[in-house]
Amino acid sequence: MSTPIPGSKLLQSLVLVTSERQEDLVKLLHVIASVDPAGGGPVEGMKLISSSPPMGSHTTEVVTLDSPASRFVSEFPFKVHACGPGWGRYGYTSKLSNWIAKHGPQFDAAVFHGLWNHSAIGGWQGSRRANLPYVLYSHGMMDPWFRNAYPFKHWMKQVFWLAVQGRVLRDANEVLFTCEEERQLARGGFFGYNYRERVVSYGIAVPPPITPLQESWFRKTVPELAGRRFFLFLSRIHEKKGCDLLLTAFAELASSFPEIDLVIAGPDQHGLTARLKMQARQAGIEKRVHWPGMLTGEAKWGAFRAAEAFILPSHQENFGIVVAEAMACGTPVLITNKVNIWREVAKSGAGYVQDDTKDGVTRLLTDWLQLKEDDRSFCRVQALRGFERFFRVEKAATDLLAAVEVMKRDRKV
């Protein structure tokens, strides 16, 4: 009979605990069309949630329709399997579903981001072959605004929904909505398939600490702004964002408030900037409107922190990560009631909410400019408090992990 080695029971216990901890970890595959930061909220949200403390030692990898040669693929903070480039705007490539079918069994679950492109369809096809469970963020892509704005395109989507897209949602463990408003708006948008719903939190990480370099970097991108006060629009330049309303509203009050300018920052994937600049020129405000393009890193945080207020006059906005980013910087927000988190903004007292009309956007700007400085200071405090209450990324990551744990448990049964 062998003599027990001193401490062997402790060692066995440690091995057992370690094994249990390893068993608790999840390996997660995100499926998204692109990790190009110009894609806006879905890409940024995925990155922030995956980087948050609750994700801890869990493993995150991403599969996309990007070209492997794309610079942003190599710069992304998580491992990216780029299966593109795909064909056309839809992005078809058989490589995506084949990759997931082959490597999917290595993961506990997948998270799909968005609709109406081959990342969702190819992801679904590959996941079925790999028996890989998944959840899907719709990211506002079933919002009725699109139906009203593009009726013909909506009916084309309805045909696509019946053919294949609706099956992707039907077969998902759950379709995730980032606020109650998004879930309600999505209902009845398309007919033919039912799906399981869940509302989960969404948010951002705490911004980096304030440094003098942040505002300095931002001011360098718009030297003609000098030290003037300004309203900040920072988002994709897209028809649904209401930039034309913003220019019209700003033109109406510009002569009454000569001390303030407007900064419109963001990537333009649809060529709208030239038309908007022409609108500003015709309104006689071209010297008061500044176009620094897409802002990132220190310059972005400098813009948020230097702004008088942040404005997002959207006709449709599923969540609005930029709204949460502004609030996290203590910057008041002026938004329309088509930004789906408008109720949280109103509850927090972080700014103002109005209709997505010319009169509504004009009231947003005018109401802010007519405030006394004490009231503006109070609004800045409430913006930060509202971020802490509603939009911390840690809760978003915890909610996603809870959904993944259910899939992982069901897969073992």
From the list 291, 295, 251, the residue with the least C-alpha distance to 274 is 291
Q: What share of the chain is helix, strand, coil (3-state, %, to 5)?
A: 50, 15, 30
Gap between the Cα atoms of 365 and 245, Å rounded? 12
User: pLDDT tens digit string along 222-239?
Assistant: 999 998 999 999 999 999
Predicted confidence at residue 372, as pLDDT, reads: 96
Predicted confidence at residue 174, as pLDDT, reads: 96
User: pLDDT tens digit string along 129-181?
Assistant: 999 999 999 998 999 888 988 999 999 999 999 999 999 999 999 999 998 89
Does 15 score more than 70 pLDDT?
Answer: no
**Average predicted confidence (pLDDT) for the chain:** 92
Residue 84 token pair = 């593109």
Predicted confidence at residue 22, as pLDDT, reads: 58
pLDDT-derived band at 59 (thresholds 50, 70, 90) equals very high
Predicted confidence at residue 40, as pLDDT, reads: 78
Gap between the Cα atoms of 250 and 291, Å rounded? 15
User: pLDDT tens digit string along 92-110?
Assistant: 999 999 999 999 999 999 9
Gap between the Cα atoms of 368 and 351, Å rounded? 8
Gap between the Cα atoms of 45 and 383, Å rounded? 20
pLDDT-derived band at 66 (thresholds 50, 70, 90) equals very high
End-to-end Cα separation, the chain, in angstroms:
40
Percentage above 90 pLDDT, the chain = 83
Residue type, 329: C
Residue type, 413: V
User: pLDDT tens digit string along 307-332?
Assistant: 999 999 999 998 889 999 999 999 99
User: pLDDT tens digit string along 16-53?
Assistant: 333 335 567 999 999 999 999 988 789 999 999 999 99
pLDDT-derived band at 189 (thresholds 50, 70, 90) equals confident
Predicted confidence at residue 23, as pLDDT, reads: 64
From the list 60, 67, 59, the residue with the least C-alpha distance to 31 is 60
Inter-residue contact 101 to 126 (CB < 8 Å): yes
Exposure of 385 by Cβ count < 10 A (0-12 exposed, 13-18 middle, 19+ buried)? middle
pLDDT-derived band at 305 (thresholds 50, 70, 90) equals very high
User: pLDDT tens digit string along 241-276?
Assistant: 999 999 999 999 999 999 999 999 999 988 999 999
Which domains occur in the chain, in start order?
25-205+394-412 (3.40.50.2000), 212-391 (3.40.50.2000)
Q: What is the mean pLDDT of residues 378-402?
A: 95
